[in-house]
Structure 1
Amino acid sequence: MSTRLGSKAAASQVEYPDSDGKRMAENTLQFQWIVTIKEGLDALFRDRPDVFVAGDLLWYPIEGDNKTRTAPDALVAFGRPKGYRGSYKQWEEGGIAPQVVFEVLSPGNRAGEMRRKLEFYERFGVEEYYLYDPDRNTFAAFRREGDRLVSIPHPAGMVSPRLGVRFELTDDAFALIGPDGRRFLTYLELAEQRDALAEQRDALARSEEQQRLRAERLAEKLRAMGIDPDATD
């Protein structure tokens, strides 16, 4: 009993840094894709209070061990509430591991580093792992089969079982398509879409105002002619 209590006390004194000192992205293209995927997932599950989405958040799977950790470019944890976290401590999250993770490659990523990430995700319970290289426009997908994350051959066009997101890959483009058929957009594309909608609303309002003024002028002319435009037969 005393040994167990001592272990718990020692574990409670371990510090779990919120940062590993590494940059989230090495270039603007990688950063754009990380943000697009993370924000697209946030939007997709905005009405689900039991789905937590994060980007570049350190994940500690083992209490008392602050060395075993990684920070997926994006993660989704079903069964966990939304809200602020400095890091994802799995023992404080009901023991639930993120079920889905994304990595966006940069030229600086090494094969050994990505192999270790795959082994980490395999070991600690990730169900779906997606890997996109925007410089080469290549996409890889892994899905859990038993205790292994197995590579899916020809993943272009596949739909994530957990997310309901379809992954489209052509010779020169990659896209994530939500269950509603809409593509995940960059912030710039969202801003342009918002501005276009605002322009359409303004144009409609101007048109309605012009119609109202024309109707008033016509009514004034009718009154000048002794005709009551509001009279009914």
Structure 2
Amino acid sequence: MNPLSHIDPDDPYPESDGQPMADNTEQYKWLVKIKENLEILFAERPDVFVAGDLLWYPVPDRRETGPIAPDVFVVFGRPKGRRGSYRQWEEDGIAPQVVFEILSPSNSAKEMADKLAYYDRYGVEEYYVYDPDRRSLGIWTRQGGKPSAPDVHPGLLSQSHIRGWTSPRLQIRFALTPETLLLFYPNGQPFLTSVELARRAEEASARAEQEAARADAEHFRAERLAERLRALGLDPD
């Protein structure tokens, strides 16, 4: 959960917990891939805020609870924009509705249980945990609309995804294969890495240039034909 070990009176809500964003390249790859594709998905929604590795302070009193930095989270109902941390009481009290965690070898079972309890307590509606080493996916969704009381079975309950899963909030589809996790936009397009997105953009640009060149050539041929018809005294129009 990585709560800060002390409270600095001059900086009660620091923007860093001193922990690395990721423990290895695989974890970082997935963090960036999910975060950037969600940014693309909601690019035209000014009321959807997407963040990666950003400290979330659910309450102002840090003696009650420490902050946590989900790998990726999504908040519906809050504007886009720069934030040093997500201070929920300054965000109309709106908690992140969707949280993603990407496991690394350093994550212990107790740490992940604590995170589940934390997200349940503070109102997360959908919680996804992907382990790229074991190729396993955990999905929890909130039951009943309210966080559960302390020491009570979580309101976030595990969901089966044998035949795939579609996020109620995000409308993205999950498909777990023996090799990897696949994620799809609502229109069926797959989530891609930055390199794959850049390659597709280059291919689309090349196709557009080829089509423009073909159109120019067709226009040139049409003009030449029209000139010949006029030379013969015929009206090409």
TM tier, shorter chain? 0.7 to 0.9
Q: Deviations over 1:108-130 (max 9, x none)?
A: 22222111111111111111100
Of 222, 226, 232, 1:227 maps to 232
- Return the alpha-carbon distance in structure 1 between the equivalents of residues 84 and 203 of structure 2: 37
Could you tell me which residue of structure 2 aligns to residue 76 of structure 1? 74
Is the Cα contact below 8 Å between 2:140 and 2:158 reproduced in 1?
yes
Q: Aligned to 1:107, what secondary structure does the other structure show?
A: coil
2:17 is aligned with 1:20: yes
**What's 2:28 paired with?**
31
Secondary structure of the equivalent of 2:130? strand
Distance 2:28 2:117 in 1: 24
In the aligned structure 1, how far is the partner of 2:94 from the partner of 2:104? Answer: 29
The amino acid of 1:173's aligned partner reads T
C-alpha RMSD over aligned residues: 2.0
* TM-score scaled by length of structure 1: 0.86
Q: 5 Å matches for 1:5-154?
A: 15-65=12-62, 68-146=66-144, 147=148, 148-154=155-161
Q: Which residue of 1 aligns with 2:171?
A: 164
Q: Secondary structure at the match of 1:204?
A: helix
2:166–2:172: 8 Å Cα contact kept in structure 1? yes
| SS in structure 1 of the partner of residue 166 of structure 2 | coil
- Aligned equivalents of 2:202 and 2:54: distance in 1? 32
Can you give the 5+ residue segments of structure 2 that lack an aligned partner in the other structure?
A: 1-8, 149-154
Secondary structure of the corresponding residue to residue 69 of structure 2: coil
Corresponding pairs, count: 219
Q: 1:140 touches 1:155 (CA, 8 Å); kept in 2? A: no
SS in 2 for 1:48: coil
Q: Aligned partners of 2:67, 2:227: CA distance in 1, in Å? A: 76
- Alpha-carbon contact 2:50-2:72 (below 8 Å) kept: yes
State the partner residue of 1:181: 188
Decide whether aligned partners of structure 1 residues 40 and 229 sit closer, same or farther in structure 2, where only a CA change above 3 A counts: farther
* Cα distance in 1 between the residues matched to 2:33 and 2:113: 24
Distance 1:195 1:33 in 2: 23
Alignment of 1:206 with 2:213, yes or no, is yes
Report what 2:152 is aligned to.
none
Go from structure 1 to structure 2 and tell me whether the alpha carbon gap of 1:171 and 1:131 turns closer, same or farther (over 3 Å shift): same
Partners of 2:26 and 2:109 in 1: CA distance: 20
Does the 8 A contact of 1:139 with 1:155 survive in 2?
Answer: no
Shift of residue 221 of structure 1? 4.0
The one-character-per-residue Cα deviations of 1:29-71 (angstroms, maximum 9, x if unpaired) are 2111111111111121222222111111000111131761110
Instruction: Tell me the equivalent position of 1:7.
Output: none
Which structure carries more helix by proportion?
1
* Per-residue CA distance 1:126-185 (angstroms, 9 max, x = gap): 111001111221111011124221111335511111111111111112111121111111
2-structure distance, mates of 1:84, 1:164? 25
Quote the offset at 1:201 in angstroms.
Answer: 0.7
- Higher mean Cα deviation, 192-201 or 149-158? 149-158
Label 1:214 to 1:154 Cα distance change in 2 as closer, same or farther (>3 A): closer
SS at 2:40's partner residue? helix
CA distance in 1, matches of 2:116, 2:90: 23
Q: What 5-or-longer segments of structure 1 have no aligned partner?
A: 1-11
